Amino acid sequence: MEIGIVGLPASGKTTVFNALTGSEAEVSAFKGGKKDPNLAVVQVPDQRLEKLSAMYNPKKTTPAQVRYVDIGGSLSAHDAKESSIDELLRLLRPVDALVNVVRNFEFAGEQPTPQDDFDALESELVFSDLMTVEKRVEKLEKEITKAKKGNPKELELLQKAKEILDGGKALRAFPEIATDPLLRGYAFLSAKPCIVVLNSHDNAEPGAVRLELPDGVIMIELKGRLEMELSQLSDEEAELFREDMGLQESATSILIRKSYEFLGLISFFTVGPDEVKAWTIRRNTPAPRAAGVIHSDIEKGFIRAEVVSYEHLIGAGSHTAAQKAGNVRLEGKNYIVQDGDVINFRFNV
């Protein structure tokens, strides 16, 4: 899973990035500071993986990962050159979801305006998609009328998208457009699931700010700077501080947990003496496609999946015991992989 962090200048993108990833990327005290993107990989906390690892005692234990990209610069055409916007878009196209950081702290004497900030960024996403659509529609119309090539169905979908975007709306609320395979290649930003991070000052009363958000957007409140400071302490120290401040879970785990839920992601496991590993897939993924996450050869040569649920395996104490109890199943290509499945794929190459 890959998450792109976006937001207005000085909303705290890099601060939140540091909080989430334990990085120490440079935050800036003025608007329009450092512009280079920051990238980091974070392990998804999962107690099941630890239990499986204790059972198999493998050489290597590999948690599922989330990649975070803090894109740095602004998407707004007002304060960025087209070339730098293209560069940002290139970084954002592949991400599975956007985290939109909204300022809820005083900055350089300016009071926070979270609703306005959210609306402004939402328009940037819509505007960026509109630019893409307009260019493409123009080209496709020419191709279709003059050269008799190009897909009229694609044009029709793009024209619908243009209408929605012209009306100032994000594409994510229109799944028939946002998820159509013909448009997937455009990776429209406003079609991506969006998680708003309300980046609150240290003393903020949780829940005090309510935002009006469009469909398909959820909000998580974080104290970015505080969480960043905590992320730079040792686990034990951070735990003590958390208890003191009445914070239960780290920002990282809250965001990862919520984004998993929100994006409809689940984990399955592969186990063995060499490696115990967690893999991320979307809910409702059939077994061969899940196998493809491990390697495309396993998907192509898929024969069967040998499946036992995490609960059955741990309950039985070993794979052999689970098998004796009749809880290891052989599943075919239509099997829908479930959260916590422990799978051994059988395949031909």
| CA dist., res. 95 & res. 102, Å (int) | 19
Closest distance to ligand GDP from the beta carbon of 259 (Å): 19
Q: Which is nearer to ligand GDP, 31 or 93 (CB)?
A: 31
Task: Indicate the pairing of strand 341-347 with strand 302-309.
Answer: antiparallel
Site membership for ligand GDP, residue 4 (CB under 6 A): no
**Which H or E element spans position 183?**
helix 181-184
- Tell which one of 55, 56, 107, 182 touches ligand GDP (CB under 6 A): 107
User: Cβ closer to ligand GDP: 4 or 7?
Assistant: 7
28 lies in the binding site for ligand GDP (CB under 6 A): yes
Q: Give the residue with the Cβ less far from Mg ion, 13 or 319.
A: 13
Strands 275-282 and 60-62 turn out to be parallel
Q: 7 contacts which partner out of Mg ion, ligand GDP, none, CB within 5 to 8 A by kind?
A: ligand GDP
Type of residue at 157: L
Q: According to the binding rule CB under 6 A, does residue 292 interact with ligand GDP?
A: no
**How far is residue 211's CA from residue 200's CA, in Å, rounded to a whole number?**
13
| Residue with Cβ nearer Mg ion (30 or 147) | 30
Which of 6, 8, 9, 14 is in the footprint of Mg ion by CB under 5 A?
A: 14
CA distance 345 to 212: 46
Tokens of 186: 């455009």
User: Binding to ligand GDP by residue 114, rule CB under 6 A?
Assistant: no
Residue 105 binds ligand GDP (CB under 6 A): yes
Cα distance between residue 6 and residue 73, in whole Å:
9
| Amino acid, res. 320 | T
Residue among 35 and 93 whose Cβ is closer to ligand GDP: 35
C-alpha angle 277/283/287, rounded to 5°?
65
> What is the per-residue binding string for ligand GDP in 141-180, x denoting contact by CB under 6 A?
----------------------------------------
Distance of CA 168 to CAs 63, 123, 165, 294, Å? 40, 7, 5, 40
- Token reading at 69: 């990209």
Of 103, 165, 101, the residue nearest 130 (C-alpha): 165
Residue 15 makes contact with ligand GDP by CB under 6 A: yes
For residue 151, the minimal CB distance to Mg ion (Å) is: 40
Site string for ligand GDP, 182-221 (x = CB under 6 A): -----------------x-x--------------------
14 contacts ligand GDP (rule: CB under 6 A): yes
User: What minimum distance in Å lies between the beta carbon of 134 and ligand GDP?
Assistant: 28
Query: Which residues, 6+ apart, have CB-to-CB distance to 132 below 8 Å?
Result: 186, 188
Name residue 267's beta-bridge partners. Answer: 280
Residue 168 tokens, joined: 């100032």
Indicate which single residue of 9, 112, 216, 292 sits in contact with ligand GDP (rule: CB under 6 A): 9
Binding site for Mg ion (CB under 5 A): 13-14
Residues that bind ligand GDP (CB under 6 A): 7, 9-15, 27-29, 33, 105, 107, 199, 201, 223-225
